[in-house]
């Protein structure tokens, strides 16, 4: 029975009747590797900690928004984007949505220097904060 359902789903996809495919293929992120990337950067990529705090309840000056609790609020920042999509967009296209009170100065070249796995690792880490 399962093979039959898979065949129908495949036939629908091939005929164009299925919903559009996701923007990216899901890759399991490793939050531990993401934490290391966040804290230390990699190659030409600066550490995220250079500009972002990750301390719950702390307010005060920082170059970028405090990311403590970002996993809880990311899905409500931009209409139509899930938490994962919002974080992905914020990393790869930081100029698309600027959090109120901050300027468009985030490092713009993550996609040129990080692999898809690096990005998924970073997303996994950020969503667990």
pLDDT tier at 65 (50, 70, 90 boundaries)?
very high
What whole-number distance in Å separates Cα of residue 83 and Cα of residue 126?
10
Q: Which stretches within 1-115 are classed as H helix?
A: 2-15, 31-40, 70-73, 83-92, 110-113
The answer as to CATH 1.10.760.10 being correct for domain 28-128 is yes
Residue 127 predicted with pLDDT over 60: yes
Token representation of residue 40: 């230390």
Residue 87 predicted with pLDDT over 60: yes
Residue 39 predicted with pLDDT over 90: yes
What confidence score (pLDDT) does residue 10 get? 46
Beta bridge partners of 74: none
What confidence score (pLDDT) does residue 22 get? 45
Neighbouring CB atoms inside 10 A of 39's CB total 13
Average pLDDT (7-23) is 45
Q: Are 64 and 52 in contact (CB under 8 A)?
A: yes
| pTM listed for this prediction | 0.74
Q: Are 66 and 58 in contact (CB under 8 A)?
A: yes
Q: Would you list the domain boundaries of the chain? A: 28-128
Give tens-digit pLDDT for 93-108: 999 999 999 999 999 9
Token representation of residue 90: 């914020």
Neighbouring CB atoms inside 10 A of 35's CB total 19
What confidence score (pLDDT) does residue 18 get? 41
What confidence score (pLDDT) does residue 28 get? 86
């Amino acid at each position: 029975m399962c093979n039959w359902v898979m065949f129908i789903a495949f036939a629908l996809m091939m005929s164009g009747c299925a919903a559009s495919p996701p923007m990216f293929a899901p890759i399991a992120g490793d939050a531990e590797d993401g934490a290391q990337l966040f804290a230390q950067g990699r190659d030409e990529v600066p550490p995220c900690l250079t500009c972002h705090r990750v301390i719950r309840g702390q307010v005060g000056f920082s170059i970028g928004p405090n990311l403590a609790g970002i996993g809880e609020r990311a899905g409500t920042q931009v209409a139509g984007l899930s938490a994962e999509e919002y974080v992905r967009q914020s990393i790869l296209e930081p100029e698309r949505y600027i959090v109120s009170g901050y300027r468009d100065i985030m490092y713009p070249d993550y996609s040129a220097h990080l692999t898809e796995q690096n990005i998924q690792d970073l997303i996994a880490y950020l969503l667990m904060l």
